[in-house]
Amino acid sequence: MEPSPRPSVWERGAARGHEPEPVHQTARPTAAAPTHSATPGPGDPHRGAAGPGTTVPRTPASDIPTPNSPITNTPTTGTAAAPPAAPPAPQPSLAALGATVSEAPASPDAILIRRTMAEIEPVADKVTSYFYALLFVQHPDLRALFPASMDTQRDRLFKALLTAATHVDDTEVLTSYLANLGRGHRKYGTQPDHYPAVGECLLSALARYATTSWGPEAEAAWVRAYTAISQIMIDAAAENEAVAPAWWQAEVVSHELRTPEIAVVTVRPDQPYPFLAGQYTSVETPWWPRVWRHYSFASAPRSDGLLSFHVKAVPAGWVSNAMVHRARPGDVLRLGAPAGSMTVDHTTRNGLLCVGGGTGIAPIKALIEDVADHGIRRPVEVFYGARSDHDLYDLDTMLRLEQTHQWLSVRPVVATGPAVRGGTSSETGQLPDAVRQYGPFREYDAYLSGPPGLIRSGVDALVGVGIPSDRIRHDSVEELVSVGD
């Protein structure tokens, strides 16, 4: 039986996962961690968090302050859902839009909001714990809509507030980011009337702990900011409702165990699922309701409509272990909308430099197929890395693609070796070092996919071999370490 949609309040940004969950974005000159993918909402418990019996500590009602000024939103009603008529355009992340703190003088509201954030930062864990306790005491019906473990949710609230404080004056960036979140919330069944409840509890938590910076002016600034934030998300969700379902059901049609911990899972959606090569989706299994994880599509769109994912089971990973060790043909999963911006620019003849580590090779494979489908001979250089030769689970597929397409070059790289597989010798060492050895790649667009450590070191390596930072698309970094599943 298909579970009914479950509302949420806020959600982390579009993020997707291989081993950790990445979010595609254009690289910044440095490898500093973005703070744009940590908005609270159901799903994604910490992979090392307590299990299903975990609950949020309840705050006695007598110890809960009265909510501050109510926050209201004007609900926007969408029309009946229908499948999208065409593949969606990639949804940019904050970094993809060049998100940086503006050097222009901050607005009065931004100054007040940032003062609040600076004051609560040392006690962020207390603020967020109190917020959720307050939310669930005043709105107990919402507790059942969140995952059992709330540890990560608390951390995400603070990161979301930090994002708002950083970008409150950057309307273009914040609007694009929040609109994407609003569309993504539809799979939870989020309703407009959930936002005021969250806003009131948020203000109460801030007022309780920001005792020095809080006052009528600061409260008014937060009310204005939160009202604008929630309205953008509500409007985007309503607009999206007219062209796309909230989620797709997808039946597992094949399950191939490539290694004891890595499976290739192929599913058939119940209705057309438009996406672009290099994008990702969120997946919910029937065994862990309300827990969603992000996985990249491992192929370009296919004529038969099937979708494939490469999934690695990680320690205590709820969804990844279910996908690898429990899912079988006939099981039905749920898919969120496609998202992500790590897609091929077909308006240029630049080559593609693709660096994939572990199951990060999945979207790289999709990009290769996309280039082939467009029939334009563009050089594609692939560096495929793993800890050992045994972990190059998809190398045979990559080598077959190399034999088929003269413009494709595949270089396996293992941390420990040397090794030979399929008649191909692997480079020994770290992926970024191998890329430096074969550079420069000044006429290439670069794509990075894999664990956060690879992304951090890979950006510097790619810039070092001549690729401008605005032509490097990659996955997210530090914030994903704590939520990888």
Average pLDDT for residues 417-445, to the nearest whole number?
A: 78
When the pLDDT of each residue in the chain is averaged and rounded to a whole number, the result is 77
Q: Which contiguous run of DSSP H or E holds residue 167?
A: helix 151-167
Say what the pLDDT of residue 14 is: 30
Token pair of 64 as six digits = 């809960």
- Tell me the per-residue pLDDT of 92-137, one tens digit each, with 9 for 90 and over: 443 444 434 445 688 999 999 999 999 999 998 899 889 989 999 9
Average pLDDT over residues 9-36: 34
Q: In the prediction, which pLDDT does 458 show?
A: 86
Q: What gap in Å lies between CA 173 and CA 163, rounded to an integer?
A: 11
Q: Three-state SS for 354?
A: strand
- Residue 326's pLDDT is 97
Q: Yes or no: is domain 25-241 CATH 1.10.490.10?
A: yes
Question: Rounded CA gap, 342 and 354, in Å?
Answer: 11
pLDDT of residue 299: 96
Q: Residue range 462-482: average pLDDT?
A: 70
- Res 466: pLDDT: 86
User: Is the CB of residue 198 less than 8 Å from the CB of residue 10?
Assistant: yes
User: In the structure, what pLDDT confidence band is assigned to residue 452 with cuts at 50, 70 and 90?
Assistant: confident
**351-483: which CATH architecture?**
3-Layer(aba) Sandwich (3.40)
Which pLDDT score is estimated for 408?
A: 97
Lowest mean pLDDT among 122-126, 303-307, 415-419: 415-419
Write down the pLDDT at residue 332.
Answer: 98
- Quote the percentage of the chain above a pLDDT of 70: 70
Q: Is the pLDDT of residue 295 over 80?
A: yes
What residues pair up with 256 in beta bridges, in sequence order? 264
- Residues 375, 403: contact at Cβ < 8 Å? no
What is the tens place of the pLDDT at every residue in 138-149? 999 878 767 666
At 245 the pLDDT is: 94
**Between these two residues, 177 and 343, which has the higher pLDDT value?**
343
| Four-way CATH pick for 248-335: 2.60.120.10, 2.40.30.10, 3.40.50.12170, 3.30.1340.10 | 2.40.30.10
pLDDT of residue 149: 67
Judge contact between 323 and 265, C-beta under 8 A. Answer: yes
Q: List Cα–Cα distances, 408 to 285, 364, 367, 430, in angstroms.
A: 36, 12, 12, 21
- pLDDT of 475 above 90: no
For residue 324, name the pLDDT band (cuts at 50, 70, 90): very high
- Please list the residues that pair with 446 across neighbouring strands: 353, 472
Query: What is the model's pLDDT at position 190?
Result: 80
204, 132 Cβ separation under 8 angstroms: no
- Domain extents in the chain: 25-241, 248-335, 351-483
